[in-house]
Amino acid sequence: MEGVLEEIDAMLGEQQSVSARWYARRADLPVDEARALLKSYLSARAGSASGVFLVSGEAASGGRVVRLAEADELERTRAGFASVTTEQLYSVHAPALASDASRKYEPLASLAAAQDAQLYEEASGETNCLLDNRWAAIRPAH
């Protein structure tokens, strides 16, 4: 576990955010395992890292909703749902993701796009979980 903590520390230092999806691809793990490792990281590094959670379900006002919420906003976000069907760790980041609350998740979107581009560039000519889709829950019928 110590090696994983150091690896994520280094990634946060370089990129300020590590999504479960990106870490799964980088470490060649199923996303659920990557998410569990990132959750363990958050517990071990409480105060020096923060998490963003994906919460989805039926909104209290009606309709299906998917929201991103900081760990400290999770209770308030859950309160806006009549029922929560999914709650999972989306990413881990350094404490100050963005100072402007209305734009705080923009770095996640641009970082995810940059990380995906990097993984596709690295994929040319070698076995890659992105190309062979080995961790997908849905498999094509043959």
Question: Considering the domain boundaries, does residue 68 fall inside one?
Answer: no
pLDDT in tens, 9-41: 887 877 668 888 888 888 888 989 999 999 999
Q: Which domain holds residue 18?
A: 2-49+88-132
Question: Considering the domain boundaries, does residue 96 fall inside one?
Answer: yes
Q: What is the pLDDT of residue 124?
A: 60
By the 10 Å C-beta count (0-12 exposed, 13-18 middle, 19+ buried), 96 is classed as exposed
Question: Considering the domain boundaries, does residue 56 fall inside one?
Answer: no
- Is pTM beyond 0.85? Reply is no
Q: Give the Cα separation of 36 and 19 in Å (integer).
A: 12
Q: How many domains does the chain have?
A: 1
Residues 6+ apart with CB under 8 A from 110: none
Question: Considering the domain boundaries, does residue 62 fall inside one?
Answer: no
Question: Considering the domain boundaries, does residue 103 fall inside one?
Answer: yes
